[in-house]
Amino acid sequence: MAFLRRQVVTAALTANAVRPLPGYRTSLATFFPSWLVGELAPHVLAVTVADAAAHATGRRRDTRGLALAAASSLGLAFLVAQSRRVREVAEESLVEALGADYADDLEDRPTPADLAVPWRRLAYPFRMREPRVHVERDIVYDDALGRRGMLDVYRPADTPLEGAPVLLQVHGGGWTIGRKDQQGIPLMHHLALKGWVCVAVNYRLAPRDLWPAQIEDVKKSIAWVREHIGAYGGDPGYIAITGGSAGGHLAALAALTPHRREWQPGFEDADTSVQVAVPHYGIYDVAGSTGVRATELMRDHFLGPRVLGRRWEEDPEVFEDASPILQISDEAPDMFVLHGRHDSLAPVEQARLFVERLRRTSRRSVVYAELPGAQHAFDVFPSIRSQHVVRAIDRYLHWHWNRHRAQARGGVRA
């Protein structure tokens, strides 16, 4: 019976990962197991096969459990195949938006070995130490905020930098939890090893500090980068910003609202523009302007009472100002938007509508990769999917950085 119970649980978790239950009210319960099983599908598959093989060689065989194990194995193999497809999906998205010759602007074209699944790296996905990257922790960018006013700087350990491109990572956590050392680590390690300076930032959290404290802090960290990053080998004239979930919202909003003075108290004249943004599974419609029902429920039951501290009916303008989709202009910077098709927490419809409006309005590049089978938080730790995502972002950002440098030298327009 123990074997059968294990296989019932595995089958239920696999089914939830293949097709998460829809609906706002079940989203939290659906998300966590779907995310873990989806990103750890190779590991769950190996354990399931081993468990079934051991049971099949025993004296008492439970055919119901073995049948469930076989069904789970097929589902898990499907999840692995979906994750591997991200390589082609991301590359097709880059080619669609940038042109088939975009790789001509890269230093080196990616080889098949560069794009292969790094199975050895994925064997221990939660071990994210990288001795070749030096991290300087807890640098103060606002001494009035305590630990929430600190950031970390990632650089290659053995290579001095000068004039390197800069990536600013904004953590997620529903604007209410999270720290700078919990998200974006695979991407920052990867880019630091490629000669980038990466900055991970804390910010004040709701409901202790209500909106707009979060966007004020992100903008203050951008101002800090402009003023101080040269001392760490970075180019203050080139900042890429990224983040997932609430961090994706803040990254997109900061990118779309440079020099918004009311969100820069005490540093109104600081340059808080960025050159490019890469938001992951972000919330782009705080006001419910898209009419997506899950978005309206999130506005009324979470964002309003917990983050903004008011009801939408009382002050809709605050919700609208906080919505990246309503801040799009023809001055929007280049963007690479990534979203999972099965995201339980941030409706994929928001990302589709955000990208549609960006493409209608912006004069810059807009890349959109909708990842098959992907849940929320697909990039938190190394997995098949996240490794392909990291490499696609690498190609996009190096394409953008090289064109930026060429423009600075009087060459092509970025």
Active site residues: 245, 343, 376
How many Å apart are CA 194 and CA 190, to the nearest integer? 7
* Sheet strand arrangement including 234-244: 133-140, 150-156, 197-201, 164-170, 234-244, 276-280, 334-340, 366-371
Structure tokens at 5: 């119970």
How many Å apart are CA 372 and CA 350, to the nearest integer? 16
Count of CB atoms situated within 10 Å of the CB of 232? 17
How many Å apart are CA 169 and CA 222, to the nearest integer? 11
Residue 376 near residue 346 (C-beta atoms within 8 A) = yes
Residue 248 near residue 283 (C-beta atoms within 8 A) = yes
Structure tokens at 334: 């280049």
User: In terms of C-beta density within 10 A (0-12 exposed, 13-18 middle, 19 or more buried), how is residue 208 classed?
Assistant: exposed
Nearest to 223 by CA among 163, 267, 169, 276: 267
Exposure string (b/e) for 44-79, b if CB count within 10 Å is 16 or more?
A: bbeebbebbeebeeeeeebeebbebbeebbebbeeb
Residue 186 near residue 177 (C-beta atoms within 8 A) = no
How many Å apart are CA 49 and CA 66, to the nearest integer? 10
Nearest to 270 by CA among 260, 279, 255, 280: 260
